[in-house]
Structure 1
Amino acid sequence: MKRFLLTVFLTAASIGGVSAGGLKSLENFVKTVKTGQADFTQVVTSPTREGQAPRVKTSSGRFEFFRPNRFRFDYAKPFVQTIVADGQTLWLYDVDLNQVTARKQAAVLGATPAALIASAADLQALQADFVLADAPDQDGLQWVLATPKSKDGQLQSVRVGLRTAGAPATATTTLAVLEILDSFGQRSVLTFAGFKVNPPMTAGSFQFSTPKGADLIWQ
């Protein structure tokens, strides 16, 4: 499960909501939500094998971002793990292994779910790496299907579920669900709760220092 999480990120109806369409909602989210915080639950389902039930694993934690190019996922359960992008470097800290893996951020975050929800500055930047298409509204959310243009990666597709509420002129769009399908048939569904739009924060919130005694591996 840990390896899948690292690959992924390297790699109810709304009352009074505005049905703006998936792409319009995504554009509004990218343009107007410059910082964000939310709790998340992630459910990873492995593909079904003959004679075996699919394996399902659940984790949870806290997510925040500072657009563009800074975000962090702090996994709290069932194990502690941190993924931080500080604008230059992507840091992966596994507490159990007492190990930090560092990679150049620009080299690994192009066509990834992180780019879709936190890293890109505008829709045009996303369209450089993804084919974006409206998907039907479902469960009170507007959906976008994102397919990587590159066929060399391990990401097959991403569905982004967005919630838009309020009057058209002042509508607010928040991230609700992220459904990730990789090329091995593993599906990861992240559900976000308590989303805070544009809370005060600084780039310094996304600095990472290797804990004393931890192994540091540059890739």
Structure 2
Amino acid sequence: MYKGFLGLISNVMLSAALLLPVSIAQADDGEQQRAANKLSELLSHTQTITGTFSQLTLDSTGTQLQEASGQMVLQRPGLFRWHTDPPLEQLLISNGEKVWLYDPDLLQVTVQKMDQRLTHTPALLLSGDVSKISENFSITYKEGGPVIDFILTPTAKDTLFDTLRLSFRNGVINDMQLLDAVGQRTNILFMGVKVNEPVDASQFVFDAPAGVDVIEDGE
């Protein structure tokens, strides 16, 4: 069983066949397009993102299920490193062509080919091809002072989350929230965020430690 928000990303990857975009009727195409353009503009101005995150998962009654923290490094297009600290440690790395999911507790790493359908995952939403956003999501937004909230609803059916909220403060990603069909909420607060600073390319390469089982996609 995968762990926490990182597990959600992994499950989306492993269930990518369920996430093929489909066409749906939009109530207000003009508003949808304005929201998509605004979000794309914010994301396209960000080539790299580094920072830490704090994650809290609650059930439908508000009862805490899990709490975790970690570090992230993202670089457009499609490169990211998402590390969740112990005791729920996992490491997710993409080099733009392959994705590695390493679980040190299981001594196992799963390797998959990158797929553009993975733009449904939050890490790739923040680091991937911004032109794909409107193809994969119905989008609305609201502004309040320095804060802009975007609500993204997947246009595919049978997805692993019903809505995703992205919040920006002064043009920088501040937090996100995922809500699933049974009312479970995962809140992620980003801290110490820095944008458009040089990052070490070696962070997007994974070398399996000795003794770790490597499971290749399709095997």
Give the number of the structure with larger relative contact order, counting CA–CA contacts within 8 Å between residues 6 or more apart.
1
**Conservation of the 8 A alpha-carbon contact between 1:130 and 1:146:** yes
Query: Which residue number corresponds to residue 176 of structure 1?
Result: 174
Relative distance call for 1:31 and 1:107 in structure 2 (3 A) is: closer
Q: Unaligned stretches of 5+ in structure 2?
A: 13-33
Letter aligned with residue 159 of structure 1: R
Q: Unaligned stretches of 5+ in structure 1?
A: 12-20, 165-172
SS at match of 1:110: helix
Letter aligned with residue 150 of structure 2: V
1:205 to 186, 203, 206: 203
Query: Which residue number corresponds to residue 97 of structure 2?
Result: 88
- Structure-2 separation of matches of 1:142 and 1:114: 19
Query: Which residue number corresponds to residue 17 of structure 1?
Result: none
Q: Deviations over 1:92-122 (max 9, x none)?
A: 11111111112222065132222322222x2
- Structure-2 separation of matches of 1:47 and 1:216: 36
- Structure-2 separation of matches of 1:99 and 1:107: 25
TM-score by length of 1: 0.79
SS at match of 1:85: strand
Q: Deviations over 1:113-156 (max 9, x none)?
A: 22322222x2x321111111113538x52100001110122121
Query: Which residue number corresponds to residue 144 of structure 1?
Result: 150
Structure 2 residue 27 is matched with structure 1 residue 33: no
- Structure-1 separation of matches of 2:115 and 2:180: 21
- In terms of fraction of residues, the more strand-rich structure is 1
Letter aligned with residue 131 of structure 1: S
TM-score by length of 2: 0.79
SS at match of 2:77: coil
Structure 2 residue 52 is matched with structure 1 residue 43: no
- Structure-2 separation of matches of 1:46 and 1:216: 33
- Structure-2 separation of matches of 1:107 and 1:27: 17
Equivalent residue pairs, number: 195
- CA shift, 1:8, in A, is 2.2
- Structure-1 separation of matches of 2:47 and 2:142: 24
Give percent identity, aligned residues only.
29
- In terms of fraction of residues, the more helix-rich structure is 2
Letter aligned with residue 78 of structure 2: N
Q: CA RMSD in A?
A: 2.3
Structure 2 residue 143 is matched with structure 1 residue 133: no
